[in-house]
Structure 1
């Protein structure tokens, strides 16, 4: 009787060739592995990342990747498949700092990892995943306009991204020296400018992969919030993604922020599923 089996590699091109159809089958759900794997392929260096695919008779049904930070990113699997992966990785002596996955998958793997290694999982953060339905610009539209960010804006962009990282508690921090290696360097940014030309909000989108674009990050400095700038700039980048041919435009939100969740739903984003992040002792 055919059984599931996990296959591991550090060859990003081989992994992509075997897992491409699976990843492209659900671009919205697989948005993060799609962008991460494409970035590694473009760089021509997997940078110590380990990849795995779950196969039965040559058919891929799930994948994972583990970055040098030792954080595991896993697509949805059953609790039995999560236990199979935990058994396989622990048997090979792999270390893990945590897991990020769809909520039930992350929970199942965290529990399986604890059974296999005695490493206690701690819930770190939840995320809502949204996909754009019908784009609905907010009314009234705030004063100002959207403007694509260019090289002359680099200093201001780095400053805003640094503020964003500090505001959400993201690590590592970003500055002019670390910008080129940061997760922001390959994004396509747009500013929302006040009538006098002052940037009051920003949003970015990833390059398109499998018809999918992810909006990330969206940030308005605290003293400028409450004027509709975030909604306006999100509409700008969402419209640009659609104009470029995107069939899936997605974004993540913090479940603990009702303001942003309500905003994105008002402009046409529809809930897809919830994700969870666990840390291991």
Structure 2
């Protein structure tokens, strides 16, 4: 995308209905109602754009964020965002529209590290990107999006209780955020220190502590946008797993989100991890859709 942030330049030359921009406000003006019309399926663009709006455009990386809106017959049909150096995040769209977008981005000389979307859309874009650029697309991860039905706390509850993270926990949060990124195989999407500061400021991380006050697991929540809150991350150090800590802390942050007025509580689980998928379903989360992430190289 051109380094200029003037949206009119590319919007005026939109191809196949796609309008591209670096302007977050313009993107939200055009696509905001569309994203909010299906908040569960659009949870990632909703929460990322809210973070960009409140925390600054460089929160996920130094490059200017990129956005796109597919408009046809007077209505928004799809949207994407990208926060360099990270990959493209697409809402659901038809294979033909994925091909048009891939062709346009490839023709502009862009180098994308990957794409994330619902399975059919991710596969269609990955195939089109390979065809238009000659690069190789490799499926890296499959995730399932869950939405809370009826909260059902797992039992037995492990000894101890919940506590909201505070400034004195910053160093631990940084370490655990880094470890979580390594566990899920994606590194850290945000600077861990900045992430920890933001979560401490908003009270958005809860620990499960043993009776002696030792944190043994954590769970966080995203800001509430369009009535929905997403639980992330959930992390327990490897040597402490299998003791019920993750289930207990996930239950606590879920309950807190409901108490605070969330209409929907969501979370993602890696489909290669049957333990976490089973745990979330026992708590009361129900499948919504599957997503795939491809690396390009």
Alignment of 1:87-236 (within 5 A): 87-172=103-188, 178-182=191-195, 184-187=196-199, 188-236=204-252
Out of 61, 65, 75, the residue aligned to residue 91 of structure 2 is 75
State the Cα distance separating 1:222 from its structure 2 match. 1.4
Residues 114-133 of structure 1: per-residue CA shift (max 9 Å, x gap): 12121221111111111111
Q: Structure 1 pair 93/170, CA: closer, same or farther in 2 (3 Å)?
A: closer
Q: Distance in 1 between matches of 2:218 and 2:22?
A: 36
Over 6 Å off, 4+ runs:
none
Deviations 1:166-213 (A, max 9, x none): 333332498xxx43434x543310011111111111111111111111
- 1-structure distance, mates of 2:132, 2:189: 34
| Range that drifts further, 84-93 or 234-243 | 84-93
Q: What is the alpha-carbon distance in structure 2 between the residues aligned to residue 173 and residue 55 of structure 1? A: 29
Contact 1:70 1:95 (8 Å CA) reproduced: no
Residue matched to 1:39? 51
Per-residue deviation at 1:12? 0.4
CA distance in 2, matches of 1:25, 1:16: 13
Shift of 1:31: 0.7
Pair 123,191 (structure 1): closer, same or farther in 2 beyond 3 Å: same
Relative to structure 1, the CA distance from residue 166 to residue 119 in structure 2 (aligned partners, 3 Å threshold; closer, same or farther) is closer
Q: Which segments of 5 or more consecutive residues in structure 1 lack a partner in the other structure? A: none
Q: What secondary structure is seen at the aligned counterpart in 2 of 1:109? A: helix
What count of residue pairs does the alignment treat as equivalent? 275
Per-residue deviation at 1:270?
A: 0.4
Unaligned stretches of 5+ residues in structure 2? 1-14
Cα drift, residue 53 of structure 1: 0.4
Equivalent residue of 1:167, what SS?
helix
Aligned to 1:241: 257
Which secondary structure state, in structure 2, belongs to the residue aligned with residue 18 of structure 1? Answer: helix
**Could you say if the C-alpha distance between residues 173 and 93 of structure 1 is closer, same or farther in structure 2, counting changes exceeding 3 Å?**
closer
1:15 alignment partner in structure 2: 27
Could you tell me how far apart the structure 1 residues matched to 2:197 and 2:36 are? 24
TM-score w.r.t. the length of structure 2 is 0.87
